[in-house]
Amino acid sequence: MAVIETRDLRKSYGQVEALRGVSIRVEPGEIYGLLGQNGAGKTTLIKVLLGIVHKTDGDATLLGLPSGTAAARRRVGYLPEDHAFPGYHTGYTLMDFYGQLYGMARSERRRKIPEMLEVVGIRKRMDNRIRTYSKGMKQRLGIAQAMFHDPAVIFLDEPTDGVDPVGRREIRDLMQQLKAEGRTVFLNSHLLGEVELVCDRVAIMHQGELVRQGTVADLTRQQNRFVIGLSSGQTFPGDEVTKLGYTVEPAGEHVEVVLPDGKGIDPVLALLQGKGLNLRHLVEKKQSLEDVFVSMVDATDAADERDRGPRRPGRARQVGTSRREK
Ligand SMILES: Nc1ncnc2c1ncn2[C@@H]1O[C@H](COP(=O)(O)OP(=O)(O)OP(=O)(O)O)[C@@H](O)[C@H]1O
């Protein structure tokens, strides 16, 4: 059973189509990253799944239950974007408040609060007021709050926003720990380097649509490009490889070989072997998640411009102007 599943999910706020037919599937125990520019619809997707806003159309299930039902919500932890805990609370009293909301007994709260704050690294400051906490400490407290009732799935909306590099690494480690415990983590972020480091699978959203979904390895692999290096003193037979239909480009001490459509790298390797050349380096070229993201967004914008003329970046799509509407 998928932990999260949406099928052709749609949400409009008046004239603004925030979700335009989004279908995703998140499996148990994975860290799933949702990427997108500001206004892409990421938070709206989380809000529909949690029942904070109602979908306009389509299906959404959480832990096999219709999204938004109380039974599903009980097993979910949520760190909202831009949350603001009351500054007069201490870390301890805030957790105690949430513990009561979750129906925990007093003795359980007393035992678990210091434990939980230890896990997120703010136990020493738990009796200080939240107004004295740094942004990073507030984020850690937010994560502790989201994890407190032992949820099966945790939604983290920009959890490392405003957190320093050391703190970001700790939050990444925390996500890995949650995964190791068998929980599912749904991460919203525009810090692509970070998503690349921590997520098992990633979806890219743009203007309310899913433009790409897959493992980080799949998304960043450039299937048509290999970097090849030969033993020192050997010359790469560029002309002969070009005659086979490949493009050869210099890449420092190596060469990059671009595959034509429908052809693999094997004929090139056979040619090198036939000539007695020694392969010292053979790597399928990767691109960063940021490269993938930017090229996806550019390609979608270019398609839009072709269909409808230039559009200012970031402007929300209005009902009736979608290139996919019939
Ligand atoms: N309550 C609302 N009323 C009207 N429009 C809204 C509302 N909430 C979101 N929108 C619009 O829906 C679109 C998607 O917004 P959403 O907050 O889901 O995007 P996001 O990807 O989470 O952006 P960000 O990264 O900036 O948080 C945007 O055009 C936004 O202006």
- Binning pLDDT at 50, 70 and 90, where does residue 161 land? confident
Residues forming CATH 3.30.70 domain(s) in the chain: 222-286
For residues 322 and 307, give the distance between their C-alpha atoms in angstroms, rounded to a whole number: 10
- Can you read off the two tokens belonging to residue 191? 């810090």
Ligand 1 midpoint to CA 81 (Å): 12
Cβ of 80 closer than 6 Å to ligand 1, yes or no, is: no
Does 316 have pLDDT greater than 60?
Answer: no
pLDDT confidence of residue 319: 35
- 165-180 and 135-147 helices, crossing angle to 10°: 10
Q: Is 41 in the pocket of ligand 1 (CB under 6 A)?
A: yes
DSSP states along 129-186 = BGGGS-HHHHHHHHHHHHHTT--SEEEEESTTTT--HHHHHHHHHHHHHHHHTT-EEE
Residue 89 has pLDDT above 50, yes or no: yes
Average pLDDT over residues 182-191: 90
- In whole angstroms, how large is the CA radius of gyration of the chain? 24
Cα–Cα distance measured from residue 263 to residue 7, given in angstroms and rounded to the nearest whole number: 35
DSSP letter string, 80-94:
-TT----TTSBHHHH
The CATH number of 222-286, from 2.40.50, 3.40.1350, 3.30.70, 1.10.3470, is 3.30.70
**Distance between CA atoms of residues 105 and 261, nearest Å:** 64
Q: Is 204 in the pocket of ligand 1 (CB under 6 A)?
A: no
Is the CB of 289 within 6 Å of ligand 1? no
Residue 71, token pair as written in the block: 């039974």
* CA–CA distance, 105 with 312 (Å, rounded to integer): 54
d(CA 50, CA 83): 16
Q: pLDDT band for 19, please (50, 70, 90 cuts).
A: very high
- As beta bridge partners, residue 77 has 154
C-beta of residue 33 within 8 angstroms of C-beta of residue 187 = yes
Instruction: Find the 155 Cα to ligand 1 centroid distance in Å.
Output: 17
User: Does the C-beta of 43 come closer than 6 Å to ligand 1?
Assistant: yes
Tell me the sheet residues that pair with 278: none
Give pLDDT, residue 325.
34
Atom of ligand 1 nearest to the CA of 317: 29
| Domain boundaries for CATH 3.40.50.300 within the chain | 4-218
Residue 119 confidence (pLDDT) = 87
Instruction: Write out the E strands in the chain.
Output: 4-13, 16-26, 31-36, 57-62, 65-66, 76-79, 153-157, 184-188, 201-206, 209-215, 221-230, 247-251, 254-258, 279-286
136 C-beta closer than 6 A to ligand 1:
no
Which of the four CATH numbers 3.40.605.10, 3.40.50.920, 3.20.20.70, 3.40.50.300 does domain 4-218 have?
A: 3.40.50.300
> Above 90 in pLDDT, residue 212?
no
Q: What is the pLDDT of residues 94-150, one digit of tens each?
A: 999 999 998 899 999 999 999 999 988 899 999 999 999 988 889 899 999 999 988
Query: Does pLDDT of 209 surpass 50?
Result: yes
d(CA 51, CA 62): 10
For residues 24, 26, 32 and 33, what is the CA-based torsion angle, rounded to 10 degrees? 10
Residue 227 has pLDDT above 60, yes or no: yes
pLDDT at 317 over 60: no
